[in-house]
């Protein structure tokens, strides 16, 4: 989904931080396995389109155009992946572009958001509210409203068709989110820690880097994961701030692919699956880390 629905309210982030551990379920003596059965069916139905994505990518044209549909592809048609991705230099290049842009945007987001969220967590309340304002509003902006002036400005600054331009644009999307998610993590750290460090002769910056930052590591990982996911899936900036096919992120290449391949659904779904796979890997690898990270924040509450 667009980065739109990825934004969270600070309230929500706080709720998650505070209630990381599951509450004891209401009046339950025995585990409710019958509910689990219902949940598996319902969640399975909800996720079925994703199965359809993956299974279509492994179908030959004969298996694709059948009525009723072929539910399980057999034999598996791996050639779709070769056609659409591995023997397609433009697609391979676009995957590389997206990797550079997403990693760049993630690093920039961390470098800017980690100190900013800390400062905002330690500021006096009145100024916090005022300073938080641009971060909150930024989350609600339509991407096209930033992309349009950015294109004319970047044209003058020579940043169209450049990784730097795309990294900067992506960070506009991810930074506000990161600051809002990170701030509650800092709020859970008692100010006495830094005061003690100051007594020991540490500067505020030393205290930040050596004492505070390691404590919010779960928050930093969370923010990095979200920034990467948002930047990898970003489409509007990629579409508007590149005019050369060689510089396009993979989302934009996939879109032009749709026009080019029309109804060759096998290769199309193969390309779509490849675009989705890095995020699914990130999701699976960091799922535990995110939840435990969020829960860890609540211990200090």
Partner 1 sequence: MSLDTRTTPRVAGSSPAARGPRRRLHTMNVVSRYSFVLPAVVFLIVFMVYPLVYTVNLSLFDVNAGNFLSGGAPFVGLENYADFIGSPQFVPSLVITLVFTVGSLIFQHAIGFMFALFFNRGFPLSGLLRALMLVVWVMPAVVSASLWRWIFSGSYGLFNAFLGVFGISSTEPWLVNPNTALAAVIIANIWLGIPFHMMLLYAGLQGVPVQLYEAAQIDGASAWQRFWRITVPMMRPVIVIALLLGFVHTFKVFDLIYVMTAGGPAGATNVLSIEVYKLSFEYFRFGDGAAAANILLIIPLLLSILYLWLRRREDSTQ
Identify residues 179-208 at the interface with partner 1 (CB under 8 A).
Answer: 179, 198-199, 201-205, 208
d(CA 140, CA 89): 36
**Binding to partner 1 in span 227-246, by CB under 8 A:** 229, 232-233, 235-236, 239-240
CB of 55 to partner 1, least distance (A): 10
Q: What are phi and psi of 21, to 5 degrees?
A: -85, 145
d(CA 220, CA 224): 6
- Single residue of 72, 86, 190, 283 touching partner 1 by CB under 8 A: 283
Number of residues that bind partner 1 (CB under 8 A): 119
- Single residue of 72, 82, 129, 285 touching partner 1 by CB under 8 A: 129
CB of 246 to partner 1, least distance (A): 19
Is residue 138 part of the contact set for partner 1 (CB under 8 A)? yes
Sign of the alpha-carbon torsion through 229, 251, 101, 109: negative
- The tokens for 61 are 């044209």
**Binding to partner 1 in span 22-81, by CB under 8 A:** 22-28, 31-33, 35-36, 38-40, 42-43, 46-47, 49-50, 52-53, 56, 64-69
Q: Smaller CB distance to partner 1: residue 189 or 268?
A: 268
Nearest residue to 146 via CA among 237, 24, 30: 237
d(CA 129, CA 221): 25
**Binding to partner 1 in span 80-109, by CB under 8 A:** none
- Single residue of 118, 181, 216, 297 touching partner 1 by CB under 8 A: 118
- Single residue of 99, 100, 103, 136 touching partner 1 by CB under 8 A: 136
d(CA 186, CA 214): 11
Is residue 4 part of the contact set for partner 1 (CB under 8 A)? yes
d(CA 166, CA 300): 38
d(CA 116, CA 141): 20
CB of 24 to partner 1, least distance (A): 8
Cα three-residue angle 254-256-261, rounded to 5 degrees: 90
């Amino acid at each position: 989904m667009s980065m739109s629905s990825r934004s969270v309210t600070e309230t929500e982030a706080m709720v998650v931080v505070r209630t990381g551990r599951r509450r004891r379920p209401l009046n339950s003596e025995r585990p409710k396995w019958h509910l689990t059965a219902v949940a598996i069916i319902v969640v399975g139905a909800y996720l079925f389109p994703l199965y359809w994505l993956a299974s279509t990518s492994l179908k030959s044209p004969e298996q694709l155009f059948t009525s009723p549909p072929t539910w399980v592809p057999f034999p598996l048609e791996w050639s779709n992946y070769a056609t659409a991705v591995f023997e397609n230099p433009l697609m391979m290049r676009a995957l590389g572009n997206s990797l550079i842009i997403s990693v760049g945007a993630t690093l920039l987001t961390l470098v800017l958001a980690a100190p900013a969220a800390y400062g905002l967590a330690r500021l006096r309340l009145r100024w916090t509210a005022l300073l938080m304002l641009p971060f909150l509003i930024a989350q609600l902006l339509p991407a096209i409203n930033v992309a349009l002036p950015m294109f004319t400005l970047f044209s003058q600054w020579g940043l169209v068709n450049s990784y730097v331009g795309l990294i900067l644009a992506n960070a506009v999307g991810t930074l506000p989110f990161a600051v809002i998610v990170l701030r509650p993590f800092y709020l859970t750290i008692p100010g006495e820690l830094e005061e003690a460090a100051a007594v020991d002769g540490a500067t505020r910056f030393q205290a930040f880097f050596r004492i505070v930052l390691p404590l919010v590591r779960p928050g930093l990982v969370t923010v990095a994961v979200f920034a990467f996911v948002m930047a990898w899936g970003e489409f509007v900036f990629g579409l508007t701030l590149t005019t050369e096919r060689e510089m396009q992120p993979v989302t934009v290449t996939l879109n032009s692919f749709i026009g080019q391949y029309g109804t060759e659904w096998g290769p199309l779904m193969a390309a779509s699956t490849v675009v989705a796979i890095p995020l699914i890997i990130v999701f699976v690898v960091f799922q535990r880390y995110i939840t435990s990270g969020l829960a860890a924040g609540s211990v200090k509450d």
